Structure 1
Amino acid sequence: MMIVDLIDGDDFRDRLVALGIRIPEGACPETCARMALRKHAEVGVPGLQELVHELMEQTDVMLPSVRAAIERFLLPGLR
C-alpha cells in the first residue's frame, strides 16, 4: 500500500512561512494566499512564483481548498 502525503492548508502555510511571509497559525488557505500576494505586491517575495509553479504541478495530491486559493489569488496576481 502506498501512502501519499497530501498538500493541506498547514503544509501550504508552512511553505509560505519558509519564504519569509508572516502568516498567523491556523490561517485558512485563502488567507494564506491573500497574505502572500499582499506581501509580494508590497516588497516582493523571492521564490513565491517558483513555489506556486511547483505546487500547481502537484494538484493531484493537493486539497481542493489549497488549489482554489492558489488559483483565485496567486496565479492571477503573479502574472
Structure 2
Amino acid sequence: MMHADLIDQEDLLGHLKALGLQIPSGATAEQACEYAVRGLDTARANELRKMVKDMYTSGATVLPAVREAFDKQLLPALTQYHQTHSG
C-alpha cells in the first residue's frame, strides 16, 4: 500500500507556530492564516511565502481546507502586502 504525505490543518498550525506566530489552539486553517497575516511585515511576509512554496513543492498533498485557507486569506494578503510595499 502506498502512503501519501498530507498537509492538513494541524500541519499548517505547526508550521505557523514554528515561525513564532501566536495561533490559538483549535483554530481552523482559515483562522490560522487570518492570524498569520495580522501585523504583516517584510520578514513575516517572506517567511509565509517560503512556507507556502515549500508546502506546494514538497510533493505532499495539501488538503482542501488548507489550500482554501491559502487562497482566501494568506495569498491575497501577501499579494496586497507586496503591492503596497514594493518599490
1:30 is matched with 30
- Aligned-residue offset at 1:56: 3.3
1:23/1:57 Cα in 2 relative to 1: closer, same or farther (>3 Å)?
same
Q: Which runs of 4+ in 1 moved over 6 A?
A: none
C-alpha separation in 2, matches of 1:21 and 1:60: 23
For the pair 1:49 / 2:49, whether they are aligned, the reply is: yes
C-alpha separation in 2, matches of 1:25 and 1:11: 13
After TM superposition, the score normalised by the length of structure 2 is 0.76
Which segments of 5 or more consecutive residues in structure 1 lack a partner in the other structure? none
C-alpha separation in 2, matches of 1:37 and 1:59: 25
* RMSD over aligned Cα atoms: 2.1
Q: Between Structure 1 and Structure 2, which shows a larger proportion of strand residues?
A: 2
1:59/1:4 Cα in 2 relative to 1: closer, same or farther (>3 Å)?
closer
Does the aligned pair in 2 maintain the 1:16–1:36 contact within 8 Å? yes
Amino acid at match of 2:55: L
**Quick one: percent identity of the two aligned structures?**
37
**Greater Rg, structure 1 or structure 2?**
2
